[in-house]
């Protein structure tokens, strides 16, 4: 079956015309129909649109075929797609159809990819299990009784289950890396500003980045090369030139200086996760890297800082949902205020309302200085912490998540457990630096992710290290048991 092939195998079949884009798209849609009955990763499958795009691509001459020609991709449902429903997994946007295309998806299409559907997530990207979706529960392909992680849970699960080879997620506090780790796939959170946020429904505007999720590091590098770069529609998208990240996949990491923060392997990290990550660090050493332990003192302050800043930004960003111009509209509202109140109370789920409330509080007169401004100051300390380490080291390495995938319904009752996990991922967003998660073994039969963190705009370095590690191990070749559940 064509869908079991790698991206480069598929590309050569397409280029030699042994396979057409239409055939590949049909096979992909068929696979999604079969596998998604249990995985439930897709909120919308865009069959007719995908087949129409495939036919157009098949007619393109060789010199017009993009770098990812014919490759099927799924898109997280908070990235807008023209003419295709974009819900943010919220009742608020249940019937919202965008009138323009987001920059990342526009570039995905320009590179020849075929968008096959929109993927489930925690509502408005707030959560780390995808259980906060207003519509469905996505399952972890490695064990159907486990969550896929979140908030980009659908994006990671669809790739892990072999429904698509590529997907886009978004990462505000770990939402690409943690689900990638839970599902045993590769997820990259690029430098803030590397990928345009135009078309990404805003959550925390100083933290959000769109990132690729794939089965291999090479595929990931290709997808980031395709979507990154300056954009006149997002002034925060960097003008820095975007390299072909594949050029950094040399396998050579001799003499590389790696820092391992003691805290990242400390209290709260599951022993099996710690063991897998220590082994991975051993592999990097055996490849010629030099490893030292360092102290990232302020990382324990990252999670509370993150919750203040992200909630404050969310309360402001989500003010646009007023039930007037688009989105959930309550029936028979008597006056304007009632439209506002009822659309926001009936349209937003509990987690979203909680964060909007917390953000509103943090920004209110009397608490702004003590809470929001203090968090902004601690953010400076957290960012400086990283800069001090990067003066001497090329990358920082640790686990992506403190545990393996949670049981469905398990941790949602205990937010502080979820928040403890945020120590590993949120500092990266606060500092605006890039980080990648690659599979590095198993804990209790479920995938573990190795997180590699770099300095601003050092994605090439991260791909180089991740690829060297991947090629030295077999974890990326392992696939989840189809449809198995306990």
Partner 1 sequence: MSNFTKEDIQYYANFARIDMPDAEAEKYATRLDTLLEFSDRLKELDTTDVEPMTHPLAIVNVLREDTPEDILNRDEMLKSVEDHEDGLIKVPNILD
Which single residue is written with the structure tokens 């003008």? 239
**Contact between 5 and partner 1 per CB under 8 A:** no
**Contact between 342 and partner 1 per CB under 8 A:** yes
Nearer to partner 1, 415 or 483 (CB): 415
Residue 249 CB, shortest distance to partner 1, in Å, is 26
Which residue among 48, 61, 63, 232 contacts partner 1 (CB under 8 A)? 232
Residue 436 CB, shortest distance to partner 1, in Å, is 18
**Contact between 1 and partner 1 per CB under 8 A:** no
Q: Are 174 and 151 in contact (CB under 8 A)?
A: no
**Contact between 320 and partner 1 per CB under 8 A:** no
**Contact between 304 and partner 1 per CB under 8 A:** yes
Interacting residues with partner 1 between 397 and 456 (CB under 8 A): 415-416, 419, 430-432, 456
Catalytically active residues are 76, 151, 175
**Contact between 322 and partner 1 per CB under 8 A:** yes
With H, G, I as helix, E, B as strand and everything else as coil, classify residue 294: strand
Among candidates 43, 41, 7, which has minimal Cα distance to 24? 7
Stretch that binds partner 1, among 9-17, 258-266, 372-380, 404-412 (CB under 8 A): 372-380
Number of residues that bind partner 1 (CB under 8 A): 71
Dist CA 246 CA 154 (whole Å): 26
Which single residue is written with the structure tokens 């495939």? 54
Strand order across the 42-45 sheet? 42-45, 114-119, 72-76, 166-171, 209-214, 186-189, 435-443, 446-453, 395-399, 257-261, 290-294
Residue 356 CB, shortest distance to partner 1, in Å, is 5
User: Number of helices and strands (H, E) in the chain?
Assistant: 14, 11
Interacting residues with partner 1 between 69 and 98 (CB under 8 A): 95-97
**Contact between 200 and partner 1 per CB under 8 A:** no
**Contact between 207 and partner 1 per CB under 8 A:** yes
DSSP alpha helices (H): ranges in 243-399? Answer: 271-286, 302-317, 336-347, 350-363, 374-392
Which residue among 193, 261, 399, 454 contacts partner 1 (CB under 8 A)? 193
**Residues belonging to the chain:** 486
Stretch that binds partner 1, among 141-149, 233-241, 258-266, 436-444 (CB under 8 A): 233-241
Burial 401-426 (b: 16+ CB within 10 A, else e): bbbbbbebeebbeeeeebbbbbbbbb
Nearer to partner 1, 208 or 394 (CB): 208
**Contact between 368 and partner 1 per CB under 8 A:** no
Dist CA 190 CA 451 (whole Å): 13
With H, G, I as helix, E, B as strand and everything else as coil, classify residue 345: helix
Which residue among 336, 387, 388, 485 contacts partner 1 (CB under 8 A)? 336
**Contact between 236 and partner 1 per CB under 8 A:** yes
175: region left, alpha or beta (phi > 0 left; psi from -120 to 50 alpha):
alpha
Interacting residues with partner 1 between 123 and 182 (CB under 8 A): none
């Amino acid at each position: 079956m064509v869908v079991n092939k790698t991206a480069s195998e598929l590309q050569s079949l397409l280029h030699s015309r042994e396979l057409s884009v239409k055939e590949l798209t049909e096979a992909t849609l068929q696979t999604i129909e079969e596998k998604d009955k249990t995985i439930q990763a897709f909120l919308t499958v865009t069959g007719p649109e995908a087949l129409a795009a495939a036919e157009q691509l098949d007619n393109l001459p060789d010199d017009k075929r993009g770098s990812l020609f014919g490759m099927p991709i799924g898109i997280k449902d908070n990235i807008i797609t023209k003419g295709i429903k974009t819900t943010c997994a919220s009742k608020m946007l249940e019937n919202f159809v965008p009138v323009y295309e987001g920059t990342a998806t526009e570039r995905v299409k320009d590179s020849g990819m075929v968008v096959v559907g929109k993927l489930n997530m925690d509502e408005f990207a707030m959560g780390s299990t995808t259980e906060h979706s207003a519509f469905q529960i996505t399952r972890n392909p490695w064990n159907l009784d486990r969550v896929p992680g979140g908030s980009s849970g659908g994006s990671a699960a669809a790739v892990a289950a072999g429904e698509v080879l590529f997907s886009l997620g978004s990462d505000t506090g770990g939402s690409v890396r943690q689900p990638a780790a839970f599902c045993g796939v590769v997820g990259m959170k690029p430098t803030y500003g590397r990928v345009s946020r135009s078309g990404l429904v805003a959550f925390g505007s100083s933290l959000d980045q769109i990132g690729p999720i794939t089965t291999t590091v090479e595929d990931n590098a290709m997808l980031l090369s395709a979507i990154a770069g300056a954009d006149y529609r997002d002034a925060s998208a960097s003008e820095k030139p975007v390299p072909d990240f594949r050029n950094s996949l040399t396998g050579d990491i001799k003499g590389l200086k790696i820092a391992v923060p003691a805290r990242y392997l400390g209290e709260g990290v599951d022993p099996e996760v710690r063991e897998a990550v220590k082994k991975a660090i051993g592999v990097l050493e055996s490849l010629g890297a030099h490893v030292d332990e360092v102290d990232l003192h302020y990382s324990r302050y990252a999670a509370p800082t993150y919750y203040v800043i992200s909630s404050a930004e969310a309360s402001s960003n989500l003010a646009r949902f007023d039930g007037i111009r688009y989105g959930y509209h309550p029936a028979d509202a008597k006056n304007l205020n009632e439209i506002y109140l009822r659309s926001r109370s009936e349209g937003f789920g509990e987690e979203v309302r909680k964060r909007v409330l917390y953000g509103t509080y943090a920004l209110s007169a009397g608490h702004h200085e003590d809470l929001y401004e203090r968090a902004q100051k601690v953010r400076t300390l957290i960012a400086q912490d990283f800069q001090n380490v990067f003066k001497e080291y090329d990358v920082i390495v640790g686990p992506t998540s403190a545990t393996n995938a949670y049981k469905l319904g398990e941790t949602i009752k205990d937010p502080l457990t979820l928040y403890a996990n945020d120590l590993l991922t949120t500092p990266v967003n606060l500092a605006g630096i890039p980080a990648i998660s690659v599979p590095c073994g198993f804990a209790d039969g479920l995938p573990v992710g190795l997180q590699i963190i770099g300095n601003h705009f050092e994605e090439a370095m991260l791909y180089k290290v991740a690829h060297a590690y991947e090629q030295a191990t077999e974890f990326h070749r392992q696939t989840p048991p189809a449809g198995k559940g306990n």
